[in-house]
Amino acid sequence: MDKIQDSLLPCKSFFLLTAGLEYNSEETEVQNVIFIHGFMSSSSLWKETVFPNLSEDVQQKYKLFAVDLLGFGRSPKPRDCFYTLKDHLEMIEKSVILPFQLKSFHLVAHSMGCIIALALAAKYSKSVKSITLIAPPYISSSEVDPSSEALRRLATRKVWPPLLFGSAFMSWYEHLGRCICFLVCRNHKTWEWILKLLTRRRDLHFGIMDLTRHTHHSAWHTMHNVICGGARFMDKYMETLMGAGVKICVIQGARDQVVPLECSYNMKMRNPEVELEILPNAGHTTVFLDRKMDFCRNLERLWESTGNIQDK
């Protein structure tokens, strides 16, 4: 049996993590899956949780692509970029869809990545086979000011949990946030060395590493231009995907303290065709971190159920 290939490709715009088996395209029909991480995260999220736990059958038939979004993880962090939704979409196109000539693909996204996934899917509605959204920060476009409403709901001024505090701090206190990022993110290798020394661990948890691998410029603009700015287009994207008959599954933990549960409920209410699963005793990330095997089996069933859709 062949082994999974796992490589980090330094693309022009991204660092792209790919996994899959060597295959003979004449004998095996290989499907593609693009994974998009959330705010202050990276492709490590998928590498550490999903990739190792997929079944052998899936490893033979699927090619997996996990990107580091522009400004996060190991991707470049240009200072002259405003990290708009369009910027992120163009980078995924240039680094994944076009160079690998993807004619069809599945999408899996977490948190902020769900907005980018919906925008990408709406643009390639004839190519998308399925979309799995985990804790999507959905704000209806029917709100009087959806961008301001997104900022109010998703960047609540709270000190706990840490991810929510970080989002609020970055969003509301720009100058203080820049100072913190300058000290922490710019010198992330030093802090990582100190943490390893204090904890006596050779490798730190990928979540800790991801928190320092961005800049305030990339985080602040992505927060305002993707999470808040993208709220205006969510219903438009959903309308396009519903019209194209794309299968959309939404998963969220009942104890999610970052994205309000009403976001998923409102998406289901406005789009009854969406499959919604609320998991008890699960939070924003533990919804799949604490149930890796179950999460992967659910993904596989979804992909298999759309397998009769031929590549275009």
Positions marked active-site: 37, 111, 256, 284
Please report where in the chains the tokens 């069809």 appear, as a residue: 104
**Rounded to an integer, what distance in angstroms lies between the CA atom of residue 1 and that of residue 62?**
15
> In a 3-state reduction of DSSP, which class is residue 72?
strand
Which residues are paired to 249 by β-bridges? 132, 275
**Rounded to an integer, what distance in angstroms lies between the CA atom of residue 17 and that of residue 7?**
6
Task: For residue 117, give the nearest of 127, 108, 126 by alpha carbon.
Answer: 108
β-pair type (15-20, 105-110) = unpaired
**How far from 57 is each of 30, 53, 63, CA to CA, in Å?**
11, 12, 12
DSSP string, 187-245: THHHHHHHHHHHHT-SS--HHHHHHTSB-HHHHHHHIIIIIIGGGGGHHHHHHHHHHHT
What's the token pair of residue 10?
Answer: 């330094």
Q: In what order do the strands lie in the sheet with 5-10?
A: 5-10, 15-20, 62-67, 31-36, 105-110, 128-134, 247-253, 275-279
Task: For residue 188, give the nearest of 79, 42, 15, 81 by alpha carbon.
Answer: 42
